[in-house]
Amino acid sequence: MDHDELVSSWFHLHSSVPFSYVQLPEARPGIVASGKNIPVVDLGLHDPSQTLKQILNASQEYGFFQVINHGVPKELMDDTLNIFKEFHAMPAEEKIRESSRDPNGSCRLYSSREVNNKDIVQFWRDTLRHFCPPSGEFIQFLPQKPAKYRELFVKYTQEMRTLGLKILELLCEGLGLDPKYCCGGLSDSPSLLGHHYPPCPEPSLTLGAPKHRDPTLVTILLQEKDINALQIFKDGEWIVVEPIPYAFVVNIGLMLQIISNGRFIGAEHRVVTNSGIARTTVAYFIRPTNEQIIEPAKPLISSGVRHKYKSITYEEFLRNFMSKGSDFEPELLL
């Protein structure tokens, strides 16, 4: 990629948002609901049935929740966020070099200008993406700078895998499935995304990420403590996901909505920008392997309960999702 495609390379040169980043009026940030927030799930409760009840209600009502007492060390959370900040603060040429070791793109730095057609409205962020399967494949392609990047990446993704499987087991149990239902091929192709949202001169005109559902089973997000930017869409209004120090934000992806036959909500969400400070987040995407068939779990389809969704391989789903976005979702329905 060319360094001038990165928002972080040129954002400070502009006193207004370039036209290609100006959202249509109906998509721009607007009024948000006051006094509302997403549920909090305590994974450290002594009564597991209460945790299960919390996570089930949140997944059915919101598709979003924050988890506390999750067991991931606070120091590791701080160090991981800081190492991604350090990476995005490096000179553009260095960032591009460090993220381009694999010609097949298992590690990749990109902006929406590289992903989207140039005629499509762009989004105010840069993203560093890694594949991080449990096999440890692709480690040799990770950036070597900043120092300790690889070491922290390995530690953090191991913690995310443990936490992610714990959350998936609770979700499956809540559905009445075998707790291990989503282990294996349904969750063996995770990825880690480090998003960087530079300050924006006109935050009311643009977005860091559009209204969307994630193409995942579950997403686990580490966000900065003091910046309100993530919003979910519920009951016709936008709700701010206010950061709780050392909590993770968890959202149900479209894959789990299909597997649950619609019992869980793959909630729509977006990211707004601000004019004063850069924001960095780290998102762990729990995803299936490409050949995995995505369909409603057979134990959930009993007499009188119909399939709501077609069967599709994850590879085909992802190809359509990337090319059509939310326009593809109606095609999944039976």
Question: Mind listing the domains of the chain with CATH numbers?
Answer: 28-332 (2.60.120.330)
Residue 208 gets which letter from DSSP? S
Whole-number pLDDT of residue 147? 94
Mean pLDDT of 85-106: 96
- Average pLDDT over all residues of the chain: 94
What pLDDT score was predicted for residue 113? 76
**Reported confidence tier of residue 325, pLDDT bands at 50, 70, 90:** confident
DSSP per-residue letters across 160-173: HHHHHHHHHHHHHH
**293 pLDDT exceeds 90?**
yes
pLDDT digits (tens, 9 = 90+) for 12-31: 988 999 999 999 999 999 99
DSSP code for 177: S
Other C-beta atoms closer than 10 Å to the C-beta of 10 total 14
Q: Provide the total of helices (H) and of strands (E) in the chain, helices listed first.
A: 8, 14
Distance CA 273, CA 303 (A): 48
pLDDT band for 215, please (50, 70, 90 cuts). very high
How far is Cα 309 from Cα 281, in angstroms, rounded to an integer? Answer: 32
The residue behind tokens 């919101």 is 62
Buried b (16+ CB within 10 A) or exposed e, 13-40: eeeebeeebbbeeeeebeeeeeeeebee
- In the prediction, which pLDDT does 123 show? 96
What is the secondary structure of 113-146 as a DSSP string?
Answer: HHHS-TTSPP-S-EEEEEE--TT-TTGGGS---S
Q: What is the dihedral of CA 254, 260, 264, 267, to 10 degrees?
A: 10
Listed in sequence order, the residues at least 6 apart from 75 whose beta carbon sits closer than 8 Å to its beta carbon are: none
pLDDT confidence tier of residue 112, bands split at 50, 70 and 90? confident
For residue range 134-164, what is the model confidence (pLDDT) as tens digits? Answer: 999 999 999 999 999 999 999 999 999 999 9
Is residue 40 over pLDDT 80?
yes
Position 2 pLDDT exceeds 80: no
Q: Report the percent of the chain where pLDDT is more than 70.
A: 97
Please say whether the dihedral angle defined by the alpha carbons of residues 21, 24, 25 and 29, taken in this order, is positive or negative: negative
Amino acid identity for residue 197 in this structure: Y
Give Cα separations from 315 to 230, 287, 312 (angstroms). Answer: 28, 11, 8
Write out pLDDT tens, residues 223-256.
999 999 999 999 999 999 999 999 999 999 999 9
Specify the pTM: 0.96
